[in-house]
């Protein structure tokens, strides 16, 4: 999997950096985050799941796992097998997401709580925003992130270069990178689309 540093190295190798106009690592991370926010605004989501919740008899409210923005199913741990499996899906009518300050999973009082078993929450999260070069880029989004960041970096350079011809060259390259990025975005692979039956987690 690619890291933020891998994307930066790829971008810098292709942008023919001008010694007078340095694009810093902080600026590059900002360009990468701009790209991540673009895909988020376009509705792209990342598959995510959590297996930390433990069912307790008589407890019908559980915190929604951190980061998950949409939930499409909840499964119950099967401890008969080794290792455990997750064959049983809780029907949708047995649970909902409560709109509180802290999002909660509310189970219907008619649901038989499987005491002591783990729950698996299958859902989707928003694209990641990055803070360090060691962060891993969301899998599958590398092509878009790279081309969009390259376009932003080249545009930044072209605006600062005093020579008109050099500025035009970088501006043209920025346009080509932007077109490649938009082509990736328009295809919107199935893996990045919200599940039709997914339920929204308020505030996320």
Q: Please indicate, yes or no, whether residues 95 and 137 belong to a single structural domain of this protein.
A: no
Domain count along the chain: 2
The pTM of the whole model exceeds 0.95 = no
Q: What pLDDT digit, counting tens, does each position of 189-202 carry? A: 788 999 999 999 99
Q: Tell me the HSE value of 155 on the side-chain side, using a 13 A CA sphere.
A: 14
Residue 136 forms part of a structural domain: yes
Give the length of the chain. Answer: 204
At 85-131, the pLDDT tens digits run 999 999 999 999 998 889 999 999 999 999 999 999 999 999 999 99
* Cβ-count burial 75-91 (b if 16+ within 10 Å, e if not): bbbeeeeeeeebeeebe
Compute how many other C-beta atoms are within 10 angstroms of the C-beta atom of residue 103: 20
| 96 and 137 inside one domain | no
Looking at the structure, tell me whether residues 39 and 52 fall in a common domain: no
Residue at token pair 């932003």: 152
Provide the 3-class DSSP secondary structure of residue 85. Answer: strand
Residues 52 and 111 in one domain: yes
Q: Residue 121's closest CA among 80, 99, 90, 84?
A: 90
Let me know whether 90 and 117 are in one domain: yes
pLDDT digits (tens, 9 = 90+) for 26-36: 999 999 999 99
**Who's near 135: CB < 8 A, 6+ residues apart?**
3, 4, 128
Same structural domain for residues 51 and 120? yes
User: Half-sphere exposure of 103 toward its Cβ, with a 13 Å CA cutoff?
Assistant: 16
Distance CA 112, CA 133 (A): 46
């Amino acid at each position: 999997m690619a890291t933020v540093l891998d994307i930066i190295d790829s971008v810098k190798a292709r942008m023919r950096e001008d010694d007078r106009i340095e694009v810093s690592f902080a600026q590059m991370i900002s360009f990468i985050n701009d790209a991540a926010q673009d895909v988020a605004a376009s509705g792209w989501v990342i598959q995510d799941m959590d297996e930390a919740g433990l069912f307790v008899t008589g407890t019908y409210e559980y915190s929604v796992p951190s980061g998950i923005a949409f939930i499409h199913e909840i499964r119950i741990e099967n401890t008969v097998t080794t290792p455990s499996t997750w064959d049983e899906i809780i029907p949708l009518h047995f649970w909902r997401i409560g709109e509180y300050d802290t999002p909660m999973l509310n189970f219907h009082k008619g649901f038989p709580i499987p005491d002591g078993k783990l729950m698996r929450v299958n859902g989707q999260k928003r694209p990641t925003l990055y803070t360090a070069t060691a962060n891993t880029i969301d899998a599958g989004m590398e092509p878009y992130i790279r081309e969009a960041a390259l376009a932003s970096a080249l545009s930044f350079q072209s605006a600062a270069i005093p020579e008109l011809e050099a500025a035009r060259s970088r501006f043209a390259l920025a346009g080509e990178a932007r077109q490649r990025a938009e082509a990736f975005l328009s295809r919107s692979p199935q893996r990045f689309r919200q599940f039709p039956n997914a339920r929204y987690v308020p505030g996320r």
